C-alpha cells in the first residue's frame, strides 16, 4: 500500500472505497436514467430562468404524481367493472341481515 500525503494506509483504503462508491453511483445513474425533452415557448423559458427553481426535480415530481393518479384511476375503474359484473342483492337485504344478526345475540 502506498502512502498518500496526510493519509496512512488505512486512509487510502477509505478513499478508495469512497471513490469506488461514487463511481458506481454515477454508473448506475447512467444505466437507470432516461432523458426526455420538453419544448416550451421562449417567453416561458426566460421566466423559468429568472426563478431559482430546480425545474428537472419539479418535472420529475409532477410526472411521478401524474402516474400515481392515473394508476389509481385505473384501479378504481377495474374495481367498478368487477362490481358491475357481480349481481345486485335483493332490495332490503342489508336491513334483513342486520336484523338477523341483532336477533341472534
Mark whether 25 and 66 lie in a shared domain: no
Alpha-carbon gap, residue 103 to 105, rounded angstroms: 5
Q: How many domains does the chain have?
A: 2
Domain boundaries, position 84: 46-103
What does pTM read for this prediction?
0.53
**25 in a structural domain:** yes
From the list 68, 64, 66, the residue with the least C-alpha distance to 76 is 68
Mark whether 52 and 22 lie in a shared domain: no
The pLDDT value given to residue 3: 52
Mark whether 15 and 54 lie in a shared domain: no
pLDDT tens digits for 32-70?
A: 778 899 999 999 999 999 999 999 999 999 999 999 999
pLDDT tens digits for 6-28?
A: 545 555 567 788 888 888 887 77
Amino acid at each position: 500500500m502506498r502512502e498518500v500525503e496526510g493519509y496512512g494506509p488505512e486512509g487510502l483504503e477509505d478513499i478508495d472505497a469512497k471513490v469506488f462508491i461514487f463511481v458506481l453511483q454515477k454508473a448506475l445513474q447512467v444505466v437507470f436514467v432516461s432523458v426526455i425533452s420538453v419544448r416550451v415557448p421562449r417567453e416561458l423559458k426566460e421566466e423559468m430562468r429568472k426563478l431559482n427553481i430546480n425545474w428537472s426535480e419539479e418535472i420529475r415530481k409532477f410526472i411521478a404524481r401524474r402516474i400515481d393518479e392515473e394508476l389509481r384511476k385505473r384501479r378504481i375503474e377495474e374495481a367498478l367493472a368487477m362490481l358491475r359484473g357481480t349481481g345486485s342483492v335483493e332490495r332490503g337485504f342489508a336491513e334483513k341481515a342486520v336484523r338477523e344478526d341483532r336477533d341472534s345475540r
